[in-house]
Amino acid sequence: MTASPTATEQPADDAILRADKVTIRFGGLVANRDVDFAVPRGRIVSLIGPNGAGKTTFFNQLTGLLSPTSGAIAFEGESIVGLTPHEIVERGIGRTFQNIRLFGTMTVLANVMVGRHVRMNAPWWGSLLRLPAVRTEEAATRQRARELLDLVGLRRRVEEQWAKNLPYGDQRRLEIARALASDPKLLLLDEPTAGMNPLETAQMTRLIGQLRDELNLSILLIEHDMKVVMGVSEHITVLDHGEKIAYGTPEEVRSNPTVIEAYLGKGAASA
């Protein structure tokens, strides 16, 4: 665990993703209010908060499913507000889902190849004419998909096995491989260890660190379980009731009274 040089302040320099005063309203409900947030390049950071804190809403704004009512979101210095989800994938943000959303009756390999879609250029009529370029691209995609599956630890029978028949933990790995196939610079993981047993959780945590190191990724984790993020993330942002209540290293956040109060209720911090 490396402590950030500027422990309690947002790192101003070289953020791959930056959100400024993001606010989103659904009618009278303010789901996120003035959230400032940044992911430094090459770091693993986490967004945590109790259930209903507005984490997933915030996440959905980063991935283009929702648009903020006000505020700005910039990826690599360019605004991504108003882009569609697939355009955001093309810019270099990949994501997984909290409730695994694989293409169940496609093969494991095909799932990853779908993820590669944005990095393929073959026109739709290319396969009709059996253009050599299309074949080459298809073969390269297949190759790349195999490499990624290998990386996340799925090696057996990837060409005949359906995604839905994989064990739970492997499904999570497959989702990550699919997200990686689009060559993201930033990977967003929505509760990647939800529903996992301690052993699987440990393996997943190791995989996340390994991905950052080997693929040079920046990673944003969403979790409501604080214990999970402590071991892997370098900075943690805490949301509660749609507002950012704390930011810092795991140690700082763990001992922050406001955070403890948010998680355990009033009085818990002083007790």
- Smallest distance from the beta carbon of 39 to another protein, in angstroms? 18
| Sole residue written with tokens 């993981």 | 189
Distance between alpha carbon 136 and the CA centroid of its chain, in Å?
A: 30
Phi and psi of 185, rounded to 5°? -95, -25
Nearer to another protein, 174 or 230 (CB): 174
Q: Which of residues 84-123 bind another protein (CB under 8 A)?
A: 84-86, 89-90, 95, 97, 101-106, 110, 113-115, 117-118, 120, 122
CB 80 within 8 A of CB 74: yes
Residue 220 binds another protein (CB under 8 A): no
Nearer to another protein, 86 or 227 (CB): 86
38 DSSP β-pair partners: 18
Distances (CA, A) of 58 to 26, 68, 94, 101, 181: 13, 9, 15, 19, 24
Nearer to another protein, 168 or 264 (CB): 168
Per-position b or e across 127-144, b if 16+ CB within 10 A of its CB: eeeeeeebeebeeebbeb
Q: Which of residues 141-160 bind another protein (CB under 8 A)?
A: 141, 153-157, 160
Total residues at interface with another protein (CB under 8 A): 50
Binding mask 25-54 for another protein (x = CB under 8 A): ------------------------------
CA distance from start to end of the chain: 28
Binding site for another protein (CB under 8 A): 63, 65, 84-86, 89-90, 95, 97, 101-106, 110, 113-115, 117-118, 120, 122, 124, 126-128, 130, 134, 137-138, 141, 153-157, 160-162, 164-167, 169-170, 178-179, 182, 203
